[in-house]
Structure 1
Amino acid sequence: MREYATTSAPSSSPRRLRFRRVFKWLIISVGLIVAAGAVFQFSMTLWENHLYPPPGKLVDIGGLRLHINCTSVGSPTVILEAGSNDSSVIWQLVQPEISRFTRVCSYDRAGFGWSDAPNEPRSSLNIANELDRLLTRAAVPGPYVLIGHDFGTLDLRVFAWRHRQQVAGMVFVDSVHPDMHHRPPFNGASQSTLSKAFYRVIPWTVPLGLPRILGWCRNTFRFPNQPKEWDKFVHEAAAQYCRLQSWRAEQAQVTDGHGSFYANTGPLGDMPLIVLSHDPQVNDFRGFFSPARLVEAERAWMEMQGELRTLSSRSRWIVAIGSEHWIQIHRPELVTAEVQEIVNDARGTAPFQADPQTEYK
């Protein structure tokens, strides 16, 4: 037995040694890859900060700095608020055109663009209060025409409800409905285990440069059939998004998880309201639903858009022909024209004309 033990030990020892060496080099390789990704993300962020300085100014609203970019002069002032994962760059094709006839300000919510990371929960009430403090500290007086895209419209609805006398009108640019995630088929997509796991895990990969390396950030702002004018803003929009605080802020934003949204808003009375919707023929949800459920998703979205137009007794609902969700990119001239209608109404030069019929432009 002793002789067997002494002869078998050398045969097992080399196998253990090879295993330890392979495991060691595997750990080292993974560590080097992670380190290289982190260095790449850090260096690219520094370079982009140099390449794309803030076009506006950072305003301290009390323990938090928000970026606001105001151009031109005139009254009322148009306020532009971006969607759930966008910065103020998303309005670059619209803001210069609105500047031709009145003052216009785009801004970045906390966590996005050039603004600081948020220090409060991302409810629409908190975001609306931060916008109020920003406009006060930045000396941007009303009246305001509020233009919101996607999620941003929810924040502006709360702002309008709390400051009704300062708001001359609103334009919803393919706005989300506060009940969207409670209605099929969107409720299934938002509540699936895979979807929840994805949004919990993905922010941890940002400091390692994975979304940037795989092109997720860049591709988020590159659209099929996009106008050539948008080409020069793709990289800037991606640069403002491809950082950890933006992904965390997007994840933290809530719509109406506990009914708090409806407690802080309501109907708009006779306020001029224009609801702009993407073209359902474009099938804007193909990345989220199977082909069999695309028609259902588009039908549900359009039903909710119709409900949004009932918020005001003076409203119009316009479907932007040929446009996807980002109407301000695909049809900037349409957004600009509708904004001007509400501005003219506020000035008393041309009364806003409501229309009960759905328009296609």
Structure 2
Amino acid sequence: MADLAAFPPPGRMISVNGVKLHLYRIGSGSPTLVLEAGLGENVLSWHPVQAKLAQTMRVCAYDRPGLGWSDPVDTAIHPEDVAKNLHTLLNDAGITPPFVLVGHSRGGIYVRAFYHQFPEDTQGIVLVDSTHEQSPMHQYPYASWDYRKQAIQIAVAEPLSRIGLVRLLGIADADRKPSPLPAAILAAKTAVQNRTDTAHAVVNEIAVMRRGLDPATPPPGSLGNLVLLVLTAGNLVDLDYVAREAERSGKDVEAEKALAKIQQAEQDELVHLSSHSRLIIVSNSGHFIMQDQADEFVGAVSEFAKPLAQK
């Protein structure tokens, strides 16, 4: 409670089906850029780029239920429901379509679900090192221990957060790894990530994500001729870099290289979802491209969005 008092939401709280969701909207003009964060993330993950993008267009970031400053929900939310919630949120906030949707990591699945339900409202999509629906199944032979460990974490994360151990041990602290985010943003991010609601929301999202381990999970759906930009983290698909990092950290080099090849294949498949697409491999970047290479991210997204403003 003290943390939330010290770090109030930067945006507005808007009720969607009885749940208050946090929407942070800045800028004006066209097109309207809608930012969908990755697994367990919130509006602050876009801090290095949102204000810069808002110099030429309206940019909206928001928190899914239980994440950031948004109220929690009890049950797991499927991508289709995430998309419906976002559509209602934008409508209730008076933000009219069309939208250019930007999805990072797991958020890439959510923005594509939005397009499939509301194609007439979607002007374009940017996938930022996006997750592939079948990724767990593709990766499992090389990352089986990671998925077993994840199952254990799912089982213990929420009860540990309820008795304060997550906060005590600093498991969810945003500054546990070197970050380009300013200290004040890291402090706010830590405050919201230590909420029990956040642990519950992450558990729910992972529970849905793990269904990708089922071979019956369908592949990503076609985007037709929708304009699409795919940004891929260069460090995750550069085999030399991956091998060096694996050796440095004591991981299985061949397994890590196999995972990198899977990552590249998945990104290539996402590019081919649309007949009107472009792939940019962002060099010297990890998974959080908008933080590791903020200027390149802003340049690529601005260039992508500029012709859409004229339509």
TM-score (norm 1): 0.77
Deviation at 1:195, TM superposition (A): 3.1
Paired AA for residue 270 in structure 1: N
Deviation at 1:198, TM superposition (A): 2.4
The 10-residue stretch of structure 1 (168-177 or 284-293) with the greater mean CA deviation from structure 2: 284-293
Distance 1:221 1:118, change over 3 A: farther
Paired with 1:52 and 1:77, the residues of 2 have a C-alpha distance of 27
CA root-mean-square deviation: 2.4
Distance 1:81 1:256, change over 3 A: same
- Relative to its length, the structure with more strand (as a share) is 2
3-state DSSP of counterpart to 1:183: helix
Paired with 1:202 and 1:288, the residues of 2 have a C-alpha distance of 26
Distance 1:310 1:189, change over 3 A: farther
Partner of 1:188: 144
Q: Does 1:294 align with 2:256?
A: yes
Deviation at 1:137, TM superposition (A): 0.8
Partner of 2:182: 230
Paired with 1:160 and 1:327, the residues of 2 have a C-alpha distance of 23
Paired AA for residue 139 in structure 1: G
Runs (4+) of structure 1 moved beyond 4 Å?
A: 258-263, 284-289
Deviation at 1:190, TM superposition (A): 5.3
Partner of 2:292: 330
CA contact (8 A) 1:75 1:143 kept: no
CA deviations 1:235-284 (Å, max 9, x no partner) are 21121111111111111111372799859x72111111111111234549
Partner of 2:194: 242
Partner of 1:20: none
The 10-residue stretch of structure 1 (126-135 or 200-209) with the greater mean CA deviation from structure 2: 200-209
Structure 1 residue corresponding to 2:272, chosen from 304, 310, 319: 310
Partner of 2:126: 171
Distance 1:252 1:310, change over 3 A: same
CA contact (8 A) 2:32 2:60 kept: yes
Partner of 1:339: 301
CA contact (8 A) 2:157 2:203 kept: no
Deviation at 1:344, TM superposition (A): 1.1
Paired with 1:174 and 1:184, the residues of 2 have a C-alpha distance of 16
- Matched length: 299
Structure 2 residue corresponding to 1:57, chosen from 4, 8, 12: 12
Rg: which structure is higher?
1
Paired with 1:155 and 1:166, the residues of 2 have a C-alpha distance of 15
Partner of 2:113: 158
Paired with 1:184 and 1:202, the residues of 2 have a C-alpha distance of 23
Identity of aligned pairs, percent?
27
3-state DSSP of counterpart to 1:92: helix
Matched ranges for 1:76-91 at <5 A: 76-91=31-46
CA contact (8 A) 1:143 1:168 kept: yes
What runs of 5+ residues in structure 1 fail to find an aligned partner? 1-45, 350-361
Paired AA for residue 346 in structure 1: L
3-state DSSP of counterpart to 2:66: coil
CA deviations 1:26-67 (Å, max 9, x no partner) are xxxxxxxxxxxxxxxxxxxx2211111011111011211111
Matched ranges for 1:38-53 at <5 A: 46-53=1-8
Q: Does 1:137 align with 2:92?
A: yes
Partner of 1:116: 71
Structure 1 residue corresponding to 2:224, chosen from 246, 258, 269: 269
3-state DSSP of counterpart to 1:79: strand
